[in-house]
Structure 1
Amino acid sequence: MRRTATATLLAASLVLLAACSGGSSDADPTPSATASAAATASAADVAALEAVTVTGEPGAEPTLEFEQPFTVSADVARIAVPGDGATVEQGHQVMLNIAAVSGTDGSAQGGTYGAEPQAYVMEEGNVPDALLDVLVGAQVGARALYASPAAEDAILMAVEIMSTEAIPTRAEGTAVTDIPAGLPTVTLAEDGAPSIETVEGEPPAELVVQPLIQGAGAAVEAGQTLTVQYSGWLWDGTPFDSSWERGSASSFQLSGVIPGWQQGLAGQTVGSQVLLVIPPDLGYGAEGNDSIPGGSTLIFVVDILSAS
């Protein structure tokens, strides 16, 4: 996933500021947040975060006040301002507004205020454990403080819960029966995780978009944030990525992923499962990406769980 400069700065500890840039053919299909190393916060870390104050009107970018330089030895989080809305539960999709500052001098390091809140599924791996522990059980409207050490500059964040929503764990809808011949065959495990049986011959030269389950939700729009479960394979059946294997759904802005996803998922309905066969020019092109060789045709099975 191509990210903002702020997200790049924070990548070692947190990928909460991942606002995706649009139209990038070298973008990953979906983001995967990287949790911080599982170090235990010390009493000094807890005390340092307790001394930080956050002020500002709900929904507006907050002000953080703290003694500088601010340092911690491990991830630490707390609820600074309680909310009074719905309670966040494990597995909920939560929309978060985020403001980040440097621990060294308090300078702004970016965030989402003035843009759009970002969606995160409240499962391990999507947000750092310390932050997940305080967000689950909190109420909409709450503001959390989160701090993470870094090689040169600790990062301090205010994280505001804007909404929370229970979402399904897999596609829910009507199975599509009139699937054309010549496409990979998809089989679902009991939990919904897909596997495929490949077909012989040359891959299609054009994008293939084939719904396998037709959901009853609203149609996906180009600028929305989606939460999905997905698995990806090369044309020969070699797997290269799967949210199912990671154990949690992924959220991303549709405008920030490979063109095959942008074109293939826009207009599909929430609750659907979609088979995508993506030619190289709508995927990773001649250069490839990580474990994906250049010139690869890609197969994805995507469950669209929500769009907002």
Structure 2
Amino acid sequence: MSRRLTTLLSATVLAPALVLSGCGEEEQSTPTSAALSAVTVEGSDPKTAPTVEVDAPVTVTKTESKVVTEGTGATVAEDDLVSIQTVIVNGRDGKVAVNTWDSGAVGLDLADERLFASFKSQLPGKKVGSRVLITSTPVDAFGDQGNPDLSMEKDDPVVFVVDLVSATKVLPAAEGTEVAPKKGLPTVTMNDGKPATITVPKGAKAPTKTVVQPLVEGTGATVEAGQTVRVAYTGALWKDGSVFDSSANRPEEPWFDFVVGEGQVIKGWDNGLEGQKVGSRVLLVIPPADGYGSAGSPPKIAGNDTLVFVVDILAAY
């Protein structure tokens, strides 16, 4: 998962450190090495973690992979957002460091420069539904520092067994059927490359409960709790329509990723976006109770401020 803090929307970094790394080689090679032969993968049920046995210590001179079980889905592209399950094993001692079947699938942005080089080089070209074995050099996994939290030293080779659960493309903006909003709600004007303009009706009273109003009905998959979603958004204050935050203000990454239903964002977002379809543009009017509460989010948001967001759902993975 790609991962960064957003000052007003999240208090948590969204990507576990286990999938972020420094630089490394990105050459894909023919899977004929002794390193791959030193790993045995047993089990074929995608709902259950495979058993991974390593004839440790294993020597890995270059990162490579082989398909253990080939899927029948789409071929993964180098800029896809993918959802994976993985077992990570230390090649030095054969001990399992991570098993995501215990905690849930992980979302990855294959275009993220911070992602493991071993994932960036070996997952594109594989099919969704495949189980892939990767033997990685230390630098292509946890970089020059290793990962002390996982008992990975800087010189430890790493073995990954990865199930490619899904892959998706990122929409450039909402697309679908326009929906006429209910009367009395703020109006929205989209501005290419800039924050949206949100106009609150003069004299209108702020709602006391969160309002979820689709402006564009997308045709993609329905967003579910536990998924990572990528959105573009603008947030404004009900009291004067002033914009306090927008993904468009970050041209290098004009989007925001978060996991739905895990409290990484305010309650109005978690509840309001779950059940919507990818491609949708959603207007959210959020009272303080479902926003930042009585404390607000100084200096821009007071404890009694109702918030208005327009959110484009670009992907879910």
Aligned match for 1:207, one of 198, 205, 210? 210
Partner in structure 1 of residue 106 of structure 2 = 118
Partner in structure 2 of residue 225 of structure 1 = 227
- TM, length-normalised to structure 1: 0.66
Give me the whole-angstrom Cα distance separating, in 2, the residues matched to 1:89 and 1:307. Answer: 16
- TM, length-normalised to structure 2: 0.65
**1:87 aligns to what SS in structure 2?**
coil
Partner in structure 2 of residue 8 of structure 1 = none
Alpha carbons of structure 1 residues 273 and 132: separation in structure 2 relative to 1, 3 Å: same
Q: Which amino acid aligns with 2:215?
A: L
Give me the whole-angstrom Cα distance separating, in 2, the residues matched to 1:281 and 1:264. Answer: 14
Give me the whole-angstrom Cα distance separating, in 2, the residues matched to 1:218 and 1:105. Answer: 42
Partner in structure 2 of residue 246 of structure 1 = 253
Alpha carbons of structure 1 residues 241 and 52: separation in structure 2 relative to 1, 3 Å: farther
Please say if residues 186 and 198 of structure 2, whose CA atoms lie closer than 8 Å, have aligned partners that are also in contact.
Answer: no
Q: Which amino acid aligns with 2:312?
A: D
Instruction: Please give the residue correspondences for 1:89-128 in structure 2 after superposition, counting only pairs within 5 Å.
Output: 89-101=77-89, 106-113=94-101, 116-124=104-112, 127-128=115-116
Count of aligned positions: 277
Partner in structure 2 of residue 31 of structure 1 = 14
Report the CA distance between 1:274 and its aligned residue. Answer: 0.5
Give me the whole-angstrom Cα distance separating, in 2, the residues matched to 1:277 and 1:170. Answer: 21
Q: Does 1:303 align with 2:312?
A: yes
Partner in structure 2 of residue 273 of structure 1 = 281
CA deviations 1:148-173 (Å, max 9, x no partner) are 14353328443221333445343221
Between structure 1 and structure 2, the one with the greater Rg is: 2
Aligned match for 1:53, one of 6, 16, 39? 39
Q: Which amino acid aligns with 2:277?
A: T
Instruction: Please give the residue correspondences for 1:107-186 in structure 2 after superposition, counting only pairs within 5 Å.
Output: 107-113=95-101, 116-124=104-112, 127-140=115-128, 141-145=130-134, 147-148=141-142, 149-150=145-146, 152=148, 153-154=151-152, 156=158, 157-166=160-169, 168-178=171-181, 180-181=183-184, 183=186, 185-186=188-189
Please say if residues 168 and 315 of structure 2, whose CA atoms lie closer than 8 Å, have aligned partners that are also in contact.
Answer: no
Q: Which sits farther off after the overlay, 98-107 or 269-278?
A: 98-107
Please say if residues 101 and 108 of structure 1, whose CA atoms lie closer than 8 Å, have aligned partners that are also in contact.
Answer: yes
Report the CA distance between 1:174 and its aligned residue. Answer: 1.4
Give me the whole-angstrom Cα distance separating, in 2, the residues matched to 1:61 and 1:125. Answer: 28
Q: Which sits farther off after the overlay, 168-177 or 33-42?
A: 33-42
Please say if residues 134 and 144 of structure 1, whose CA atoms lie closer than 8 Å, have aligned partners that are also in contact.
Answer: no
Q: Which amino acid aligns with 2:152?
A: A
In structure 1, list runs of 5 or more residues that go unmatched. 1-14, 19-25
In structure 2, list runs of 5 or more residues that go unmatched. 4-8, 28-32
Q: Give percent identity, aligned residues only.
A: 26
Report the CA distance between 1:136 and its aligned residue. Answer: 1.6
Partner in structure 1 of residue 30 of structure 2 = none
**What RMSD, in angstroms, separates the aligned Cα atoms of the two structures?**
4.5
